Amino acid sequence: MTHKQALARVASAFNSMLKPTLIAGAIAGGACVLPLNANAQNAPDPQPFPAQTLPPGHPAVQAPSPQSLAAEGVRTSANIARGAADICHIDRVRIDKFKVMTRKSFPAAPDFDGEWNLGYKEAQATVDRFAAMKTNNPTEYAKETGEACPALTQGIDEVTK
């Protein structure tokens, strides 16, 4: 199994841990948008951004560059590594091997270390949410980690073989 195939499996498991955080962020973002829209009633309608109105693959929609796709892969891998380390307690040696394999799998990333650090930091909200859940709702914590951690462990093991 390639790193990219395993990464998809690991990301799926980790995303199940992220969903409540993303939903909360979307709700908070929506609350911020409402007052802005109410104050802009007399403003002319802005022109829609072409990428929002055209389907992916349309000739006018520019495809992401290999560098931006690689950078996103690095950030996602780092995000997964952070959850695996801090939530699932996967040992540092395995996380370091995962990072090495990530570097090999995404050679087009223009700033691997910068993207890795960013992805690692982006997982902080999820780590904090799980720390609070562990204290406030141990049953839910056990359920969530019981579902996600075995898949994360398996995915990281497949990548680092």
pLDDT digits (tens, 9 = 90+) for 25-80: 222 333 322 233 333 344 445 555 544 577 777 777 788 899 999 999 999 999 99
Neighbours of 54 (CB within 10 A): 13
CB 141 within 8 A of CB 130: yes
Neighbours of 160 (CB within 10 A): 18
State the residue for tokens 């960013």. 118
Using the Cα atoms of residue 153, residue 156, residue 158 and residue 161 in order, give the sign of their dihedral: negative
Most confident among 11-25, 94-108, 147-161 (mean pLDDT)? 94-108
pTM of the model: 0.66
51: left (phi over 0), alpha (psi -120 to 50) or beta: alpha
